Structure 1
Amino acid sequence: MTTAAAAAPATGTPFRGRIRGRVLLLLCCMYAISYIDRTNISTALPHITDEFGLSDTDAGFVISAFALPYALLQVFGGTISERFGPRRALFVITVVWGVATLWTGLSTGFWTLFAARLLLGLSEAAAFPSATQAMSRWIPRDRNGFAQGIVHSAARLGNALAPLLVAYCIAISGWRLAFFATAVLSVTWGIVWFVLFRDRPEDARGITKVELAELPPVATRATRPPVPWRALAKQILPVSFVDFGYGWTLWVFLTWIPTFLSDQYDLEISAFAWFTTAVLLAGVVGDTVGGLLSDRIIHRGGDARHARRLVLVIGLGGSLVCLLPLVVVGQSLTVATVSLALSFFFLELCNANLWAIPMDVAPQWSGTASGFMNTGFGVAGVVSPIVFGFLIDRTGWQLPFGISCALLAGAAVVAWVMKPQRITVTDGVLEVGVPAAERDATR
């Protein structure tokens, strides 16, 4: 630990009474809606496959249709927000994904469903990088982990609510109603965001000099030098691999848990929706705890590299251990539910830290850097549902869960050895090599 690091503040800068609190609340709503939009299909999947006559392998391809453009356009999506600003970017994104969600509800078979999911992945590819760009302008650096933890907790809350909302819609009028309702919700959020948000904090009505002084330097939030691709790749590529291991397992939870509970324990939708919600609620807690934990380590004198890395290893390792009972045949419903919930809690300790690292490492290019990082998650989204569905059809559930454990172990090893460092441009000079929090602590 350096002397400068030891002088780091004991508590983070406040959100209460600040306009950034409103910005964070808006982003929480967007993250929740986005995950309702992308995961409502998982709960509806047993009904959709019955209506359209799809196999588990077909269902895996439908789920992966979202992830293919999502993976390929992550970096491009990040540059969009940096070029046009997160205000306009997120408005257009949410309107387009609202159309995609409406299209899902109007699907008539495999190919129309596949196309709707492609459009949803295309639009949502730029959403989280754009949101990260917004946070890099509005969130003090010592609160990066907390902010990412809160918004991703909201995303997991969307995960947890989706099974109940979809089950309710199915009971009222069939599975299509769930997609019509979330389409309206998505477009409404986009309009509210465009009216209330400002790309430059200086332009926000009612902002105080005190709050402006707490935000990142103007050079970070107001300028965008050319992206140093080589330096950025060197710092972010290992994080992308960790994100792949995390993403593989997350897609398992988001895609297959309702089907697993239905198949293995003969549960009706009213029952497996509640069990799925119980599992996913654990992630709400995990996201917040993970962000708070790493920020607390930094505030007590640690550096960001150590803080993020430590929480990632704990999260990935804990998720692996808790998932192991599902590799064994014949677990009771109670054991399976508790194992899944604990595994998901530990897995979600990682999420805020994965997204905070690009903000720590490349504050001037946080949209591009976070898109680069989240490409790992996108690739996992392409591969995981297809491979998992294929293996379920041919071997049952144990082997797919075992492969997930192996990937978690590999990601934990990479998380422990990687050493992300800050990249900045000052007076036209590229600087690489100072750990993120050590530089912040000297400010």
Structure 2
Amino acid sequence: MSAPSVPQKESLPLETKKNFRWTVVIWLLIGGIINYLDRANLSIAAPEMMKELGLTKTDIGLLGTVFSWSYALMQLPSGWLIDRFGAKKVYSVAVIWWSLATFLTGAVSKMSSFIAARLLLGVGEAPCFPTAAKITASWFPKKERGLATGFWDSSSKWGPAIAPPILVLILVSFGWRSLFYITGIVGIVFAILFIIFYRNPDKSSKLSAEERAYIQADGSGSEQGLQQTSIKWRTLFTYRSVWGMILGFFCTIWIWNIFLIFLPLYLVEVHHITLAQLGIYASIPWIGGIFGNIFGGYITKIMVDKGRSTPIHAKRLLISICAIGAAIVVILIPFVQGIVITLTLLTLALAFISAITGSAWALAGDIAPPALVASVGSIQNFGGYFGGAFSPVVAGIIVDTTGSYLLAFVSGGIIAGCAALCYWFIVKNPIEEAKA
């Protein structure tokens, strides 16, 4: 008589009972908010800096450009450093570095010193988002990375959204220099807490066995380094999809930088809002950015969950549609008059643009092998910010020369729309290891 059959162990459920992995997003969200507060403080301080120090819009645009250039150039080594030495080590040093650079900005008065401080800020901030992409690829299966990325990438909108009311209050109470002092100190405190409490997934004691198995089932669950891939870093520039990501992100960051640097000035000069009103009005459009980030990630997750698309195709489709939407809305902005319709269009524009940036960062985890996620993400970001670095100073020159923001918005909208061409027609296939 044959022995009774032994019941087979059931496969892992689609959802785990515990979701500790989602708490990791909180670290990335807070770090990203601090990162963007340290960028946005310039746009809030700009009117008072121009008044006190005699700076022009071109000077303010130049400071934005210097930051973007140093930030872009440091993307290339930062991605390699993250993949080589690990996300936690590089990220901790980076946060302390950029926080000290922020503090320094408040202590100087000459244009040359401001340029040096913004250059140092760009160097320090460069590893922030490539690190987040690396951590996401380690902690989340592919189908969840778009949503997880949407949450932490929304930090780039939370920062500018909460910056106006908070920083305007500080500015009015203590002066523009205090904006840089306070945000710098906050960053250092965060870095200390991150060093003490954050752990990689393979070293975390908080993960249940069930959740760990769920994460590992899709190839995640550990932070893979450069020694675990046969692909050389320098060869990443030979892949078509990488170039599509570089060019597409350039088109997106061009208009993004214009909003980041000039949105408050645009509202003050064109719509004549007061400094007190600026704290509210300048934050409203970024709420659309937060929504776009999270909702865009949710849409791509639903498309994959329902079997309607692969993770890569879902993100490419969302990016392309949103790029076209952003182009239309941005071009319309200078042609409307009322503050309500202007804020509506600005909010829609940032919602579209934010959906692009969130999906683009998540796309790095789909295109790249696990050991090269930070490198591919940073190369994409390099393309965006190296080319996009020109937009603040170009916009500043246009406005100083013509006395109008019209050409800056129209040209920015056209460039933003070109992102659809890059991500849809150039970005196609993932990078694969050569078969032995």
Q: Tell me whether the two structures share a fold, i.e. TM-score over 0.5.
A: yes
Deviates more, 1:26-35 or 1:379-388: 379-388
Tell me which structure has the larger Cα radius of gyration: 2
Aligned to 2:422: 414
Alpha-carbon contact 2:257-2:389 (below 8 Å) kept:
no
Distance 1:12 1:180 in 2: 47
Q: How far off is 1:19 after superposition?
A: 3.1
Aligned to 2:49: 48
Distance 1:258 1:430, change over 3 A: farther
1:389 to 390, 393, 396: 396
Distance 1:207 1:46 in 2: 48
Q: Does 1:230 align with 2:232?
A: no
Aligned to 1:307: 314
Distance 1:230 1:13, change over 3 A: farther
Alpha-carbon contact 2:83-2:224 (below 8 Å) kept:
no
Q: Does 1:332 align with 2:338?
A: yes
Q: Does 1:356 align with 2:358?
A: no
Matches within 5 A, 1:59-138: 59-138=60-139
Secondary structure of the residue aligned to 2:431 is: strand
Distance 1:233 1:352, change over 3 A: farther
Q: How far off is 1:381 after superposition?
A: 3.8
Deviates more, 1:226-235 or 1:54-63: 226-235
Q: How far off is 1:266 after superposition?
A: 1.9
Alpha-carbon contact 2:300-2:315 (below 8 Å) kept:
yes
Aligned to 1:274: 280
Deviates more, 1:267-276 or 1:361-370: 267-276
Distance 1:192 1:26, change over 3 A: same
Distance 2:387 2:296 in 1: 21
Alpha-carbon contact 2:70-2:123 (below 8 Å) kept:
yes
Aligned to 1:435: none
Aligned to 2:205: 205
Structure 1: state its 5+ residue gaps: 1-8, 432-443
Alpha-carbon contact 1:312-1:412 (below 8 Å) kept:
yes
Structure 2: state its 5+ residue gaps: 1-10
Distance 1:206 1:332, change over 3 A: closer
Q: How far off is 1:27 after superposition?
A: 0.9
Aligned to 2:37: 36
Distance 1:233 1:161, change over 3 A: farther
Cα root mean square deviation, aligned: 2.0
Q: Which amino acid aligns with 1:307?
A: A
Q: How far off is 1:285 after superposition?
A: 0.4
Distance 2:74 2:230 in 1: 19
Matches within 5 A, 1:177-256: 177-199=178-200, 201-216=201-216, 217=219, 221-224=223-226, 225-228=229-232, 229-231=234-236, 233-234=238-239, 235-256=241-262
Aligned to 1:346: 352
1:40-79 deviation per Cα after TM superposition (whole angstroms, max 9, x unaligned) = 1111111111111111111111111111111111121111
Q: How far off is 1:299 after superposition?
A: 1.5
Q: How far off is 1:358 after superposition?
A: 0.9
1:103-148 deviation per Cα after TM superposition (whole angstroms, max 9, x unaligned) = 0111212111111111010011111112211221112221110111
Distance 1:289 1:76 in 2: 32
1:141-195 deviation per Cα after TM superposition (whole angstroms, max 9, x unaligned) = 2111011100011321111011111101011111111111111111111111111
Q: Does 1:366 align with 2:373?
A: yes
Aligned to 2:155: 154
Aligned to 1:437: none
TM-score for the superposition, normalised by structure 1: 0.89
Distance 2:94 2:313 in 1: 35
Distance 1:413 1:421 in 2: 16
Q: Which amino acid aligns with 1:286?
A: G
Aligned to 1:25: 26
Q: Which amino acid aligns with 1:119?
A: L
Matches within 5 A, 1:428-443: 429-430=434-435
Distance 2:396 2:417 in 1: 22
TM-score for the superposition, normalised by structure 2: 0.91
User: Percent identity over the alignment?
Assistant: 25
Q: Which amino acid aligns with 1:145?
A: G
Deviates more, 1:295-304 or 1:165-174: 295-304
Number of matched residues?
416
Q: How far off is 1:352 after superposition?
A: 1.3
